[in-house]
Chains A and B, each alone.
Chain A
Amino acid sequence: MQFRLKTSKETMDILKQLQSSTNLTPNVLARLAIALSLLSKEPIESFESDTNGLEFNRNTLTGEYDFVYKALIAQHLGRPVADDEYFPFLIKKHLDRGAKCLENEYKYAGNYEKFIKGLANFELEMIR
Chain B
Amino acid sequence: MINYNKVTTMQINQLTITNFGIYYGRNEFVFGNKKERANIILIGGENGTGKTTFLSAIKLALYGPLFLGYKSVNAKYIDFIKDKINIYSRAEGNKMAGVEMDFTLYNNGELENYYIIRQWELTKETVKEHLQISRNGISLTDNQIEEFYHFLRRNLPPSLFDFLFFDGERVQQYVLDSQFEQNVKEAFMTLFNLDLFDTLKEDLLKYLKQDNIFTSLTQEQKEYTQIEYDLRNQENVIRNLEKRIAELKEQAKDVQVKIQELEREFSNKGGMIARERETLNEQVFLMEQEKKQITEKIKETAAELLPFLITQKLLQQTVTQIDAEERVERYNTLKEELNNETLPLLFKELSCHFRITDLDGKEATSSFAEAMKEKLFQSMKPVGVNFDRFQFIHRMNSEQKQAIRDLFKQVRHFDGKLVDEWFARIQHLTDEIYTVKKRIEHSLTDESLKDIVNKLNEHTRLHEQIKYEIEANTAKLFEAQKFYQELMTKKEKVQKRIRQARKDENIFELCQKLSRVLSRYQEEQVKKYLGTVERYFLQMFNSLMRKGQFLNSFRIDPQTFEITMLNYSNKPIFKHSLSAGETQLFFLSLLWALLKASKRQVPFVLDTLFGRLDRTHKENLIQKYLPVVANQVIILSTDTEVDEYYYNRMKPYIQREFSLHYDRNSNRVHIENHYFFQKVGI
Contacts and interface: CB of A to CB of B under 8 A. Distances in A.
B315 interface: yes
A36 B307 CA distance: 8
A35 B306 contact: yes
Interface stretch (A7-15, A45-53, A70-78): A70-78
Nearest to B411: A123
A120 B309 contact: yes
B420 A117 contact: yes
Q: Lowest 4 CB-CB distances: which A-B pairs, in order?
A: A121-B416, A35-B307, A35-B310, A120-B419
B392 interface: yes
A91 interface: no
B302 A72 contact: no
A94 to B, nearest CB: 11
B309 A123 contact: yes
Nearest to A124: B416
Interface in A31-54: 31-32, 34-36, 38-39
Interface stretch (B375-383, B394-402, B519-527): B394-402
Interface of A: 24-25, 27-28, 31-32, 34-36, 38-39, 65, 67-68, 71-72, 74-76, 78-81, 113, 116-117, 119-124, 126
Contact of B394 (A25, A38, A80, A120): A80
Interface of B: 298-299, 301-304, 306-315, 317-318, 321-322, 391-396, 400, 403-404, 407, 416-420, 423
Contacts of B313: 123, 126
A117 B310 CA distance: 12
A32 B394 contact: no
B241 to A, nearest CB: 79
Given A35-B306, A121-B416, A75 B317 contact: yes
Contacts of B416: 117, 120-124
B129 to A, nearest CB: 82
Nearest to B320: A75
A32 B310 contact: yes
Nearest to B419: A120
Nearest to A74: B393
Given A67-B400, A72-B311, A76-B314, A28 B302 contact: yes
Contacts of A124: 416
B393 A80 contact: yes
Given A67-B396, A67-B400, A71-B396, 20 more contacts: A28-B299, A28-B302, A36-B310, A38-B310, A39-B310, A39-B314, A65-B407, A71-B404, A79-B393, A80-B391, A80-B392, A80-B393, A116-B298, A119-B309, A120-B309, A120-B418, A121-B417, A121-B420, A122-B309, A123-B310
Contacts of A120: 301, 306, 309, 416, 418-420
B465 to A, nearest CB: 62
A75 B318 contact: yes
Given A68-B407, A116-B302, A39 B417 contact: no
Contact of B395 (A75, A80, A116): A80
Task: With a 10 A CB-CB cut-off, give which of B309, B311, B318 has the most chain A CB atoms.
Answer: B311
Contacts of B392: 80
7 contacts: A32-B307, A39-B311, A75-B321, A117-B420, A120-B418, A121-B419, A124-B416
Contacts of A28: 299, 302-303
A25 B103 CA distance: 102
Given A68-B407, A120-B416, A121-B417, A75 B302 contact: no
